[in-house]
Structure 1
């Protein structure tokens, strides 16, 4: 039985991915800052661990308790919405600490074991914003773009050791509570000078048309984790697939 460790499993894409792998007979280590099994099915193959990807001691403890991992899914992420001009650098750094440096730290913690076993898959979840950058999300987009380049480079480094690095690029999914973890209302970061520009964008967010489902992302992660090819990118959701084809 293979083992997958998923960060950010308390809701959204991470939660659905944990469910998907459990239903397919995997051993799942579902991690989150405050472990809560309420939304996951009871299973002898499920372990819940506390993990804050911005805390080195938390990472070390979780990885040690998890034991050998066949697949790492770096899904934990936060966002901030607003005009960059009005976004305090403290908020920008908070986004990068989770979305960029947290992913890198998890990779550094997991890679040695995979390298010794000469097998493993690292799946980094980014965003279709890396394919078509969204307005009013510059810090978020930059944090995810960094992981796009990082993962491509990592794939070259680790291939010689039998380790595959992959990107899953979800489209727009309003159920992911995009900016909730930063606790910064978007309206606080829209100066009056941007009001006319921002209004139609927020209207579009409220009525986006076809969106990416959580199951779309779980299925893309599954494909990325089990595909034996050298493929790097896996767009998730019809909107992301269309953007990837146009890129």
Structure 2
């Protein structure tokens, strides 16, 4: 069975995908900044490694330790919600370091071995924000849209080596810890003039009945792995799918 390396497996989509692919028989390398093997009730065909996608040294060490892989899933990401005018440049850079440059760095780390074997799959987890723009997430949207453009170009560049590049685009996931994990980063990003507008927006999200579950993303990632055609984009979750079928 093939070996898959997944980034950002401490919670949410990454953890669910690691568990799901493990159950499907894949050899899973689940990476996270702080390794925690207790996240997996069964340690069979799963390895947990330390990996910080914003650190070149950490990436190099992880790739050296895990050895040959067949599939890279770039899932690690951080969220940001707030008024753009109130967002410090350092915070913007932090988001891009993980969501955009982290993806690029991981791709550079594995492409040589894929190219030499003339086989490999890269799956970049972006977001439904690349399908439809939303307010108060301008920085997050920019970071994911950059990956969208990067992936589209890279797919053409690498097809000569039989390397496939796919994208999975999850919708709104209220059941994940994504928002909670970014609370400290998002403090003071909604100045008073934006409060009323933001409150109405949050109320709309709270009433949403179609949204994305962790299982939706895991199942869609497996679909992308198995897709042999030229299809490169895979919306995940009822709300994301609706954006491309309306």
- Normalised by the shorter chain, which TM-score bucket? over 0.9
TM-score (norm 1): 0.96
Write the deviation string for residues 38-58 of structure 1: whole angstroms up to 9, x where unpaired.
222323311100000000000
Per the alignment, residue 11 of structure 2 pairs with 11
- 2:78, 2:99 within 8 Å by CA — same for their partners in 1? yes
2:91–2:185 Cα contact (<8 Å) kept: no
Aligned to 1:200: 200
Q: Secondary structure at the match of 1:49?
A: strand
> Which moved further from structure 2: 186-195 or 208-217?
186-195
- Farther off after superposition, 237-246 or 200-209: 200-209
Runs of 5+ consecutive residues of structure 2 not aligned to the other structure:
none
Which runs of 5 or more structure 1 residues have no equivalent in the other structure? none
In 2, are the aligned partners of 1:128 and 1:240 still within 8 Å (CA)? Answer: yes
* Matching residue of 2:80: 80
Q: Deviations over 1:197-220 (max 9, x none)?
A: 111012123332221110000011
How much does 1:79 deviate?
1.0
1:229 corresponding residue in structure 2: 229
Post-superposition Cα deviations, 1:163-194, rounded to whole Å, max 9, x if no partner, equal 00000000110123334444436462111111
Q: Which residue of 1 aligns with 2:90?
A: 90
TM-score norm. by structure 2 comes to 0.96
- For 1:57 and 1:86, how far apart are their aligned partners in 2? 32
For these two proteins, the number of residue pairs brought into alignment is: 246
**8 Å CA contact retained: 1:80, 1:178:** no
CA distance in 2, matches of 1:137, 1:74: 21
RMSD: 1.3
Cα distance between partner residues in 1 of 2:206 and 2:139: 21
